[in-house]
A and B are shown apart, each in its own frame.
Chain A
Amino acid sequence: MPDVSKMKKPDVKVVLLGDMNVGKTSLLHRYMDRKFKETISTIGGAFFLKQWGPYNISIWDTAGREQFHGLGSMYCRGAAAVILTYDVTNWQSLAELEERFLSLTDTALQDCIYALVGNKADLTDQQAQLAQDPDGQPQDQTESRDRTDTLLSACPTPPDSPASLSGVHKQVTREDAVALYGRILHYKGLDEKSSLPADKMCFETSAKTGFNVDAMFETLFDLVLPSILRKRNENQRSPTVDLEEYREVGSKRSRSGCC
């Protein structure tokens, strides 16, 4: 359900990009509604408002379908974070990020942060099959637990390769994602050393079980906070002199001076 309170002006924007069917909408549902439910391919786009402490974060769910591709730049305009989503069982979905979606982010903020999210990890990793969501739908949990149980009893020793659960193969490894992250930084003309490390910004998630979903969103929110604060400051900049602020700057200076 979209948030009615959208009349409130959001402080910051986060955009989900990625090919159709990778699970962008499902990730948002899981995070916002704590549920995994049926989706239809998104038309146009949708957005949600998340209260994060005192801030309002708008999260845009975009449509991956080719038809709506042209709208991407506009959705990304002014974004503080972009979540580039792919499907770990689908190599092409990662390739599309580089070919089709990366250029859409040109309209995002200068210091926009990028996350690479490989969804549907439940299909390839046992670890991701365990529901992580403490308040998720019990039905979902039992479902996935049951499956894990049978699975564990079926193979007492973990399989050698992480691939092939329920007949699906992992087509994108974490290394592939990390490599892409490096190329994204390159594309953005960013220095790898001064940017957020790939380690921190590449996630594998499952909207189905909730695996890593909260962690992914919340890591990002924490990272965009500085951007929010700066934006607030800009908006508040007024002709009146803020004595408090001045003093703080002064005291900082003197502190650094003495050391």
Chain B
Amino acid sequence: MSVKAFELVPAVERDLLMGDKARINIECIECCGKHLYVGTNDCFIHHFLLDEATSSKGKLIYSSQKLLHKYLGLKKPVTELRAASALERLIVLCDGIVFLVDMVTLETVPSAAGGGAKIRGVTAFCINENPVNGDPFCVEMAVLSSKRRTVQIYMVYEDRVQLAKEVSTPEQPCAVSVDGYFLCLALATQYMILNYNTGASQDLFPYNSEERRPIVKRISREEFLLAAPGGLGMFANAEGVSQRAPVNWSESVIGAAVCFPYVVALDESFITIHSMLDQQLKQTLSFRDGHILQDFEGKVILASTKAVYVLVPLPLERQIQDLLASHRVEEALILTEGAQRNIPKDKFQILHKRILQQAGFIQFGQLQFLEAKEHFRKGQLDVRELISLYPLLLPASSSFTRCHPPLHEFADLNHLAQGDQEKVLRCKKFLISYLGEVRSTEVVNGCREDVDTALLKLYAEQNHESLLDLLASENSCVLADSVPWLEKYHKYFALGLLYHSNGQDSAALQLWIRVVDGDLQDSTRSDLYEYIVDFLCTSSNLDLVWKYADWALLKDPTVGIHVFTRRPASKDQPELNPDDVITYLGKHSRALLLYLEHLVLERRIQKEKFHTHLAVLYLERVLSLLSELPANEEQLTKARERLQAMLRESDLYRVQFLLVKTENCEQLLLERATLHGKLEEHDKALHILVHQLRDFPSAEAFCIWASSCRDSAYRQRLFHLLLGVYLDGSVPGSAPSAAGSNGGEMEMAAVDLLNRHGEVFDAVRVLEMLPEGWSLQLLKPFLGRAVRASMHACRTSQIAVGLAHSENLQLLHDRLKERKKPILISEKKGCHLCHNTFSEPSVVCLPGGVPVHTHCVAQRARDSPTKRQLTNSSNHT
């Protein structure tokens, strides 16, 4: 639990004071700047000049030079010495008398004319370091006397002392300390605080001063340190409240002082040093014949009976480092933080950060990652300090060098783990999570590259799933450094991503292609081929697309063609010219077909070239299937369906061109019929369908298709045409009942056609066309419908006539009603034309029942001769 917080340095050696005179002892000391005064039991005062120097080893040493010694002439020990430097006086207590001595000459100051410079019967006195009166040439002093139960307050001047106040105490006081108006007193059985101005008192706690020497030590403004029962050092403020926890020194303490953050106490054989921050005993120094411990302006001076020493605090930083060196992180931090108010703010911050970082590394070394992380965070650690522990993680290009002096004792991770691979792994896991957390914060400003590269390496090495996330998002990984690592761990897909984010798409593609082709092993993506296609598809670099599409198409044309067909249409994406693509796809027939389908069927590009090309490709496919032996019926059917659909639905391809191509092929009659249909050569088409193919349903379907976007007259014409073809083909004169023969078949078809699509036909013309001998029975459905339709039309028109008539009547009725309304005129009403009032009952009414003078109307009629008179005269009043 120990810290080296102080060092005991000799200041005045024995021989300088008393030489070999054994009976002479030190009784009291006073230090004021460099001036050290020592009072002895043989009534001498010795005056030394104390010089501070630093030894070659960097240690503080003191050398003292004796200036003077003076016998006071009382033959009694000098009990107490206090300097009043502003007055150049020493206040001396000797033989129960307080008197003044010149600080330089040590001559006793004679009493001034007006008042004495001596106080008699004194047992103890103390100086008020926080005096209430503002006079700099006056020192305030509290005095205890042997006879009275009082405390006297004196003002000490250059040449006299003057009683200012006297307060009584409940018991005989035996020790006193003062701050402002507050006296802190040790009485016979207790301590108390006494306000000498108001007389108010506050008991602190019981203490038997006869049994054990009391201590009342002012440690700061209105705060005192007291010896308490049970070997405690208790703190109490002027209100009688303890604001700090006590320290446990020893039962027989002679003197105590505070040298922040430590309480230093002296007993007969030891100096004990406790921290006020955690109450713990931090250091013990053995000290024989200890007699005096006092602090003077922050300097702690001790004396044995024979010699004087200075207790030199080691620099705070050194103490903290010592604590850290023994891995006492908690204490080191307490000490650092406790020192906050004693160190300038900016200096403190630097120190605090550094200690936090060091603490973090100690905990890191003990694999206490949670705590370590917290300290790294609070200490704003440059993460590279941590990264640099891991061999090879920092990129070669990094400018980082570890801070000096080093923050930790580890050479690297291997040194730290001492070959324990489990430890190494845990440290790596920690770094992964730590870097992952900080990489998006400002902590990594200025070293983003180092952090990202390190993270990439760790991810690759640990086969970590976040590798791809890192590379797919914005990152600063250094390419040169990352390539070998990713290669080493076969992370080719990731490497490709890195190339990509570095603008080297070509390199990325080459690498991925090698993986797909099996030259390199990386199982990151089983669908890497599709990924590449996708990549090309979205790539804005057309050169790349042209370069690698070939490979993709060779691999699988159906997927590979996506390079061209799935390019997202956007403004910043350069367009591919379809003609170029078609040229490019020349040798990839399958892909070409897919591409054309994409253009024609999906994108519906209305360009003759593409349509013709696609139709030709369909045709060629059908032709090639036809030439196969044995024929693959299923494929053939499919291919023909496609061809037919194309021929039917597109209006752009060059019909003639295709017609020529199908000319010699007897198997493609249906297609030819369609082509003729496109050319509006319906008779040819129907001829093929009816006579060559004898496919009547198709013939019918043809009529419907060919007239699908036309008016009903067009359709009618087609159906009549078909009917004609049927009738021409039948053997004239024979009854249609004779099924089986060619002619009979046609007749049946004609009958079916009529019966099924009767509504399309012009029944009258049909009747004219039909051969005489046909039975009514056969045509009954057709005729029935025709008659019904004609009846229907007739009746519908009769209804329409009736309705129109009734509407007309209704209007007539309304008009009459309107006219019958009376039109009122009086002498007060004015004519709408001349605005004069009416004087006689006969007026003329304008349309809408507006009455006007007859002469006004006449006038108007005269003025506009072209206008026909619209008015009706009325005699109503």
Chain A positions within 8 Å of B, measured between CB atoms, are 1-2, 4, 6-7, 43-47, 63, 65, 67-68, 70-71, 73-75, 77-78, 107
11 A-B residue pairs with CB within 8 Å: A1-B330, A2-B245, A4-B277, A4-B338, A7-B341, A43-B246, A45-B242, A47-B244, A71-B205, A73-B203, A77-B241
Whether B278 sits at the interface, judged by CB under 8 Å, is yes
What residue in chain B is nearest A43 (Cβ atoms)? B248
Task: Name the residue on A nearest B280 (C-beta).
Answer: A2
Chain B residue numbers with a CB within 8 Å of A6 are: 244
B568 contacts the other chain (CB 8 A): no
Residues of chain B touching chain A, judged by Cβ–Cβ distance below 8 Å, are 203-207, 228-230, 232, 234, 236, 239-242, 244-248, 277-279, 330, 333-334, 337-338, 340-341
| Nearest A residue (CB) for B233 | A44
Set of chain B residues within 8 Å of A75, measured between Cβ atoms:
242
Measured CB to CB, the nearest residue on chain B to A72 is B205
Partner of A47, one of B203, B207, B245, B340: B245
Asked whether, in the complex, the Cβ of A73 is within 8 Å of the Cβ of B341, the reply is no
If A2-B277, A4-B338, A70-B205 touch, does A44 touch B230 (CB 8 Å cutoff)?
Answer: yes
Name, among A4, A46, A77, the residue most crowded by chain B CB atoms within 10 Å (CB to CB): A4
Q: Is the CB of A67 within 8 A of B229?
A: yes
By the criterion CB–CB under 8 Å, are B245 and A45 in contact? yes
| Nearest CB in chain B to that of A107: its residue | B240
Provide the bound-state CA to CA distance between A4 and B336, in Å: 10
> In whole angstroms, how far apart are the Cα atoms of A168 and B278 in the complex?
36
Interface contact A68-B341, CB-CB below 8 Å: no
Instruction: Report the Cα distance A75→B240, complex, angstroms.
Output: 9
What residues on A are CB-neighbors of B245 within 8 Å? 2, 44-47
Q: How far does the alpha carbon of A184 sit from the alpha carbon of B228 in the complex, in Å?
A: 29
Q: Are B232 and A43 within 8 A (Cβ)?
A: yes
Docked pose: A45 CA to B234 CA in angstroms? 9
A65 to B228, CA, bound (A): 14
Distance, CA A73 to CA B278, complexed state (A): 23
- Closest beta carbon of chain B to A73's beta carbon, Å: 7
Rounded to whole angstroms, the CA-CA distance of A77 and B204 in the bound complex is 10
| Contact indicator B241/A43 (Cβ below 8 Å) | no
Partner of A74, one of B229, B230, B241, B248: B241
Q: Which residues of B contact A7 (CB under 8 A)?
A: 338, 340-341
From B228, B244, B334, give the contact of A71 (CB < 8 A).
B228
A152 to chain B: closest CB distance in Å? Answer: 35
Given contacts A65-B230, A74-B204, 8 further A-B contacts (CB under 8 A): A2-B277, A4-B277, A44-B232, A68-B229, A70-B228, A70-B229, A74-B236, A74-B242
Looking at the assembled complex, report how far the CB atom of A158 sits from the nearest CB atom of chain B, in whole angstroms: 41
A243 and B246 CA atoms in complex are apart in Å by 44
Q: With A6-B244, A74-B240, A74-B242 in contact, is A67–B278 under 8 Å at CB?
A: no
Cβ-defined contact, B330 with A78, below 8 A: no
**B234-A71 in contact (CB<8A):** yes
- Cα-based distance from A47 to B242 in the complex (angstroms): 10
A68 to B245, CA, bound (A): 13
Supposing A46-B279, A47-B245 touch, asked if A68 and B338 sit within 8 A by C-beta, the answer is no
Q: Which 10 pairs between the two chains have the least Cβ-Cβ distance?
A: A44-B246, A70-B206, A44-B232, A67-B230, A70-B205, A43-B248, A46-B245, A4-B337, A77-B241, A4-B334
Residue of B nearest to A47 (CB): B245
Chain A residues lying within 8 Å of B241, measured Cβ to Cβ, are 74, 77-78
Q: Which residues of B contact A77 (CB under 8 A)?
A: 239-241
Q: Does A45 contact B236, Cβ atoms closer than 8 Å?
A: no
CB distance from B28 to the nearest CB of A (A): 30
CA distance A107 to B241 in the complex (A): 10
Residues of A within 8 A of B229 (CB): 67-68, 70-71
A68 (CB) vs chain B CBs: closest residue: B230
Which residues of B are found within 8 Å of A67, using beta-carbon distances?
A: 229-230
Cβ distance B313 to chain A, nearest Cβ, rounded Å? 19
Residues on the A chain within 8 Å of B207, using CB: 70
A70 and B192 CA atoms in complex are apart in Å by: 13
Q: In the complex, what distance in Å separates the CA atom of A242 from the CA atom of B745?
A: 115
The CA-CA distance from A150 to B754 in the complex, in Å, is 99
Q: Would B230 and A43 count as touching, CB distance under 8 A?
A: yes
Give the shortest distance, in Å, between B487 (CB) and chain A (any CB). Answer: 45
How many Å lie between the Cα of A4 and that of B278 in the bound state?
8
Complex Cα gap A4–B248 (Å): 18
Of all chain A residues, which has the CB nearest B228? A71
Minimum C-beta distance from B343 to chain A (A): 14
Interchain CB contact under 8 A, A73 and B205: yes
- The distance in angstroms between the C-alpha atoms of A243 and B614, with both chains bound, is 89
User: In the assembled complex, which residues on chain A have CB atoms less than 8 Å from the CB atom of B334?
Assistant: 1, 4
Asked if A2 meets B278 with Cβ closer than 8 Å, knowing A73-B205, A74-B204, the reply is: yes
B110 to chain A, nearest CB (A): 47
Which residue of chain A has its CB nearest to the CB of B340?
A: A7
Q: Are B242 and A1 in contact (CB under 8 A)?
A: no
Residues of A near B240 (CB, < 8 A) are 74, 77, 107
State whether A44 touches B228 (Cβ < 8 A): yes
Closest to B275 in A: A2
The answer for the CA separation of A86 and B206 in the assembled complex, in Å, is 25
Minimum C-beta distance from B356 to chain A (A): 13
Set of chain B residues within 8 Å of A43, measured between Cβ atoms: 230, 232, 246, 248
A1 — nearest CB in chain B belongs to which residue?
A: B330
Residues of A within 8 A of B246 (CB): 43-45, 71
Residues of chain B lying within 8 A (CB to CB) of residue A1? 278, 330, 334
Q: In the complex the two chains form, what is the Cα distance from A47 to B338 in whole Å? A: 16
Q: Which residues does chain A contribute within 8 Å of B234, judged by CB atoms?
A: 44, 71, 74
**Closest A-chain residue to B230, C-beta based?**
A67
**Closest A residue to B333 using CB positions:** A4
Contacts of B242 in A (CB 8 A): 45, 71, 74-75
Residue of B nearest to A6 (CB): B244
Instruction: Provide the bound-state CA to CA distance between A107 and B340, in Å.
Output: 33
Nearest neighbor of B338 in chain A, beta-carbon distance:
A4
Name, among B204, B239, B246, the residue most crowded by chain A CB atoms within 10 Å (CB to CB): B246
Beta-carbon contact of A2 and B279 below 8 Å = yes
- A21 → B minimal CB distance (Å): 16
What's the Cα separation between A57 and B278 when bound, in Å?
18
A29 to chain B, nearest CB (A): 15
CA distance A65 to B234 in the complex (A): 16
**Chain A residues near B333 (CB, 8 Å)?**
4
The answer to whether A44 and B248 touch across the interface, beta carbons within 8 angstroms, is yes
Report the bound CA distance from A7 to B261 in whole Å.
12
Residue numbers in A under 8 Å from B247 (CB-CB): 44
Give the docked Cα–Cα distance between A47 and B205 (Å).
Answer: 18
A78–B240 alpha-carbon span in the complex (Å): 9
A65 to B206 Cα, complex, angstroms: 15
Name which residue of chain B comes closest to A48, CB basis: B245
Most buried by A among B205, B244, B278: B205
User: Once bound together, how far apart are the Cα atoms of A70 and B228, in whole Å?
Assistant: 9
Q: Which B residues are CB-close (under 8 A) to A78?
A: 239, 241
The CA of A6 and the CA of B242, in the complex, are separated in Å by 12
Residue in chain A with minimal CB distance to B206: A70
Best-surrounded residue of B228, B239, B340, B341 (most CB of chain A within 10 A): B228
Chain A residues in 8 Å Cβ range of B204: 74
State the CA gap A47–B276 with chains docked (Å): 12
Give the residue name and chain of the A residue nearest to B336 (CB).
A4
Set of chain A residues within 8 Å of B279, measured between Cβ atoms = 2, 46
CA distance A171 to B236 in the complex (A): 38
A81: min CB distance to chain B, Å:
15
Q: How many whole Å from A105's CB to the nearest CB in chain B?
A: 15
B208 nearest CB neighbor, chain A only: A70
- Chain B nearest CB, measured from A202 CB (Å): 28
Smallest Cβ distance from A136 to chain B, in angstroms? Answer: 17
